[in-house]
Structure 1
């Protein structure tokens, strides 16, 4: 197994990653490999870089949604590995040419929002192409003529890997290319590539890989590129226990990227089947960040043995992401799980809640 720590890009950490923060990373690359493919709404340059000289063309882009930064970190870790003397890295670059856009939405990244500066979700603009960032990606797609596309995203902590108490640390999707969700040859290639990554990840995070919903939307970039006959894989970087900065998840996305490149570069898709893909459990939505049981012990207004489900709202403050708890559900939450669970009837849990001032005050104000 590749030692991720050897290639982890130290200049970018945690959740808040901006265009300015990437300049040190770009400075490590040959200037000839970097291209400005367009500009954002606020006229921030959007850069790509190219690695390798092989016949298989692989296009990948990250931070289409500005607040989904985990895959951006993993992309630079991948670049560090591929520029090393590792035999696998050399083999990949001999067989593949990679075109990488590490930050498609720099305005959204700066503001830590999903949308761009015009409040448009770029992943719902594949058809109309109303935004400069969308136009830049489509032109790059048409000029580069990829054999595979990797659409790199992040997903919320609510997702489970199936209907079990396992977080979806990584999720994948081979997008549909029509409303009937037909299993086209293009989708099959993407499915087999996902199956290869899943086989590797199951050795590291067993039961923590999910399959994203394949409802068709031709305004989504992945669906659109799949419609155009290019196998496209959606990567979703999710939650690993106690890893809200997504540094552990970063490692698993890095390893998944390398596994996908290895599989594509060696024409190893035949080792996997669509059945392997569909054996990956469909994502559930079973997790709260905090699940509080028996809250009436703290707040008598919450009678009847209710439970409280709390999720964190991510707030940008002084270039740091703060996780603010917000009550989402109150009631019978049987069948749901918490990344952290407090049973207030337990004295230790009771004291733990009281010691968390923000959480304690939130619960005192809650109503049935």
Structure 2
């Protein structure tokens, strides 16, 4: 009986200490985040950057006494793959990003973390991380893909499906580094579609986690279990800033994937997927969330707080669903062949690389139509009672784009004109900041509303036009501000 009471007392004390330590860490991270702008790498302000943009940053760390920088491989096109290591601990933590060239959010966060870890502030709080852990960062594993902001490498393959054949130099490097470190923990840092939502919720899955399975049975051994426990604590940290916007990725075993295999090879692997967040196209908010979540994980691993986490809390994280649109219109009247129907429209805006300048523009499409009552939108507009009216073409053809500056767009839109024809359009002209679609002389305007069509039309109620939808953006016609992100130049 005496032993039994002693055991209970020990467990109570252990749980109390664990909760107290966790509370301390949350308080420290909150204070660190209040100073985040001091650590944010200012040379990376948007997510479309290339290998050459990172070189000055890599060079900066080569001269820092606390950071060991070494070349560990080359891409197919000969770009160096660099590993940046710091810390004096025996627990090796390996973080790699941009395995897919167009998934750069965590790369930005890695350089923010490096700035923080080498800064003089919070030195006492960081002491345990840097004394207990040896951190290894491999940013931009796929620099060839990053050149064109593309998912795949120069060979045209998905590096994350090359863990078995290991024919890409990028994949070979990743495996060689993992094996040489015999890393205890690995962070596989990605971006995912902004159209994922947390299952059963209108919230976007801003951050999704996964402790990948290492076999088809999805068994949980100590290695995978530890990854789950770390995720539990990362989730707890993020819930304080983005409650409800966290999900869990599907854990079906993929035998070709690196995350699944690295888990199998003995490294507790945490997949982090950066999704969407309202009004954050350059993912600067999500970048900070990556910084926060990874920092929480490093604190947890360094003092072994994760061991007190309950794996059942990992299972409670909702799964990713795919029921989000950029814009959802509900209750729209639509006339077809003399009959009237009620439709919801789901509209998505694809990012397209601009031809004439760095960056991108939006090309929208109808992603779904019908009863979309179980779907959600970043922006939702109830248009019950409104009828869809196709946009008309301006009667006058403009000679060139410069001539459009003289047009009264408020007047054109109020008359239901959505398109202006321009005679002289150059090949590299693909979008416009004017709130109207620009078309070439031969362009045929779609006659029917259907999936895949660019959403450009008007909404009429009581004989008056209330809204213009131009390239999937909403313009309220009784307001003076007619600005949209962009319309299209359609040849």
| TM-score of Structure 1 vs Structure 2, range by shorter chain | over 0.9
Q: Distance in 1 between matches of 2:262 and 2:285?
A: 30
Contact 1:176-1:223 at 8 Å conserved across structures: yes
State the match for 2:118 in structure 1.
83
Contact 1:16-1:69 at 8 Å conserved across structures: yes
Alpha-carbon offset, residue 300 of structure 1: 6.2
Count of residues paired in the alignment: 365
Residue by residue, what CA displacement relative to the aligned partner does 1:142-192 show, whole Å, maximum 9, x if unpaired?
111111000000011111112111111111000001000011111100000
Taking the TM superposition and a 5 Å limit, the aligned residue runs for 1:233-252 are 233-252=270-289
Greater shift after overlay, 47-56 or 210-219? 47-56
State the match for 1:6 in structure 2.
38
Alpha-carbon offset, residue 335 of structure 1: 0.5
Of 265, 268, 279, which aligns to 1:228? 265
Contact 2:204-2:245 at 8 Å conserved across structures: yes
Matched, 1:183 2:266: no
Of 61, 80, 91, which aligns to 1:45? 80
Of 94, 119, 123, which aligns to 1:59? 94
Contact 1:81-1:89 at 8 Å conserved across structures: no
Q: Distance in 2 between matches of 1:156 and 1:363?
A: 28
State the match for 1:165 in structure 2.
202
Contact 1:57-1:99 at 8 Å conserved across structures: yes
Contact 2:333-2:384 at 8 Å conserved across structures: no
State the match for 2:149 in structure 1.
112
Contact 2:76-2:154 at 8 Å conserved across structures: yes
Q: Distance in 1 between matches of 2:128 and 2:343?
A: 57
Alpha-carbon offset, residue 53 of structure 1: 1.5
Q: Distance in 2 between matches of 1:293 and 1:212?
A: 29
Matched, 1:15 2:36: no
State the match for 1:323 in structure 2.
362
Alpha-carbon offset, residue 364 of structure 1: 7.7
Flag the structure with higher strand content. 2
Of 309, 314, 330, which aligns to 2:346? 309
Contact 1:195-1:277 at 8 Å conserved across structures: yes
State the match for 2:239 in structure 1.
202
Q: Distance in 2 between matches of 1:211 and 1:255?
A: 18
Q: What is the TM-score normalised by the length of structure 2?
A: 0.70
User: Greater Rg, structure 1 or structure 2?
Assistant: 2
For structure 1, which runs of at least 5 residues remain unmatched after alignment?
A: none
Greater shift after overlay, 307-316 or 38-47? 307-316
State the match for 2:376 in structure 1.
337
- 1:123–1:303 CA distance, 2 compared to 1 (3 A): farther
SS state of the match for residue 341, structure 2? coil
Residue by residue, what CA displacement relative to the aligned partner does 1:251-306 show, whole Å, maximum 9, x if unpaired?
11110010000000111112211011111111111101121224446x76895211
Of 285, 306, 328, which aligns to 1:269? 306
State the match for 2:449 in structure 1.
366
Alpha-carbon offset, residue 249 of structure 1: 0.7
RMSD of Structure 2 on Structure 1 (CA):
2.5
Contact 1:159-1:286 at 8 Å conserved across structures: yes
Contact 1:16-1:321 at 8 Å conserved across structures: no
SS state of the match for residue 29, structure 1? helix
Q: What is the TM-score normalised by the length of structure 1?
A: 0.93
Contact 1:163-1:286 at 8 Å conserved across structures: no
SS state of the match for residue 292, structure 2? helix
Q: Distance in 1 between matches of 2:261 and 2:349?
A: 32
Of 60, 63, 76, which aligns to 1:28? 60
Higher relative contact order (CA 8 A, sep 6+): 1
SS state of the match for residue 198, structure 2? coil
State the match for 1:140 in structure 2.
177
Greater shift after overlay, 51-60 or 80-89? 80-89
For structure 2, which runs of at least 5 residues remain unmatched after alignment?
A: 1-29, 390-412, 419-433, 438-443, 452-491
Residue by residue, what CA displacement relative to the aligned partner does 1:30-68 show, whole Å, maximum 9, x if unpaired?
347211111111111111111111111001100000111
Alpha-carbon offset, residue 362 of structure 1: 9.2
